[in-house]
Amino acid sequence: MFRPRCDKTIDMTSGSLWRNTLLFALPLFVSGLLQLLFNAADTIVVGRFSGQEALAAVGSVGSLNSLLINIFIGLSTGANVTVARALGAGDREKAGAAVHTAVSLSLISGVFLAFLGYFAARPLLLLMGTPDDVIELAVLYVRIIFLGMPVQMLYNFSASILRAAGDTKRPLYFLTVSGLVNIALNLLFVIVFKMSVAGVALATVLSHFVSAGLVVRSLLLRRDAVQLHPRRLRIDRPMLLQIVRIGLPSGIQGSMFSISNTLIQSAINSFGTVAMAGSAAASNLCSFLYQGVVAFQSTATTFTGQNVGAKKYRRVLKTQLVCQLWCFIVTTVMGALNLIFGEELLSLYNSDPEVIRWGMQRIVVANAPEFLMGIMSVFSGGLRGMGYSFLPMCLSLSGICLLRVVWLSTVFRAYPTMTCLMLSHPVSWVLTGIPMGIFFFICLNRLKKKLDVPDPAAP
């Protein structure tokens, strides 16, 4: 049976899971941290050299950007699972069809997003209640970022293919190069050319061209089942349906998260520009914590996908337990550091004591207990790796999105403070994580019975 091998890939269906999951997740984690450091550099540069309004504009559009692109990020998750399962089953033909369908889909998605983001930016930002002193800068930022969506989507889908093959190191290298380019261009455009928000956005788009070019080059040079052949770029209908079946619910879930986060951002906007700036800085710090969650959620998804393809169900269960423990350790340590050094970290973004005071309210309530989100997300990643994508979507929509909407209209309305607003995060993580874990074990047992195949002893 064909088994794809590469000098930089990790064997997910044999060997030590403790070692292999960590080796797989660590480059993902570092990649996420580097990406956020580069994004933080955007925020720090614009906050230090262009003022509170520019900082608020850049920081307040994150939930809107996520709202528009998460459907397609979800589809890249579907591509990851589809390729991983084909590789786990040793089916070279299906793996190749999935790769070329995914890359084709990324380009189509990127062009669509470019048009959507450009024309929808102003009405959506107005709907969010963006203040008058911020709106023009925010619209400009969103429009420039979305004009670069074709290359951003190309990178996301292509990197998901490399991860499905067990290669998480190359995307880390590519991200490092593009991030350094981003920082250099930030300094040039904002400090030297005084381009403010437009300079930060343009630097981001140009750096995406670098990362996309490098990851595509890597796929072109591979000599295994995930090698990219430009002449084979086309949509394979069965592969597209599988990618959509797995990825669309994930994308809808992410977009619903963004809708609830957009509503929360609208509530934050009601506190004024200074609160927006403080919350933006704290949210950026929270994103560092979230990278631990993303790394081990992605690890659970990819390892589960390959082991389901190889019909190693005991290893699927062990993958979940190992990823849960690693994620808990990482997020707990980072949450404690975030809490202890919060004021010093916030001062890097803006030294105004009021900005720091508002930011600390978010850190104490929403950043420190991020491990709760980790538990929920790793269970969700395991379910998707098994092919159950609709179920975690439904659980998340009811347990997180709906709860936060209800919280805003009831609890927050009665106690309109930043602390009360931020409490909606940990409460929703707990209420979603419990049923997510229960259904993970139910679905694993059903999957074994459905396929009616003996489970080989996992090494």
Quick one: which of 96, 102, 114 has its CA closest to 152?
A: 114
Task: Report how far residue 51's alpha carbon sits from residue 57's, in angstroms, rounded to the nearest whole number.
Answer: 10
Amino acid at 413: R
Average pLDDT (358-371) is 88
Q: Provide the H-helix boundaries in 7-91.
A: 17-50, 52-60, 62-88
CB 255 within 8 Å of CB 396: no
| pLDDT-based confidence at residue 3 (cuts at 50, 70, 90) | very low
Of 39-53, 161-175, 310-324, 382-396, the range with the lowest mean pLDDT is 39-53
The answer, yes or no, to whether residue 296 has pLDDT greater than 90, is yes
**DSSP SS3 for 60:** helix
The answer, yes or no, to whether residue 95 has pLDDT greater than 60, is yes
Task: Report how far residue 357's alpha carbon sits from residue 77's, in angstroms, rounded to the nearest whole number.
Answer: 37
The predicted-structure confidence for 425-436, as pLDDT tens digits, reads as follows: 899 999 999 999
The predicted-structure confidence for 338-362, as pLDDT tens digits, reads as follows: 889 988 988 887 788 888 888 898 8
Quick one: which of 66, 458, 9 has its CA closest to 225?
A: 9
The predicted-structure confidence for 171-217, as pLDDT tens digits, reads as follows: 889 989 998 999 899 889 988 888 888 898 999 999 999 999 999 99
**Would you state the pLDDT for residue 189?**
92
**Cβ-based neighbours of 94, under 8 Å, separated by 6 or more:** 86, 239
Task: Report how far residue 215's alpha carbon sits from residue 177's, in angstroms, rounded to the nearest whole number.
Answer: 11
CB 114 within 8 Å of CB 147: yes
Per-domain boundaries in the chain:
35-247, 271-453
**Would you state the pLDDT for residue 63?**
65
CB 65 within 8 Å of CB 207: no
Task: Report how far residue 306's alpha carbon sits from residue 39's, in angstroms, rounded to the nearest whole number.
Answer: 32
- DSSP string of 337-404, one letter each residue: HHHHTHHHHHHHH---HHHHHHHHHHIIIIIGGGHHHHHHHHHHHHHHHTT--HHHHHHHIIIIIIHH
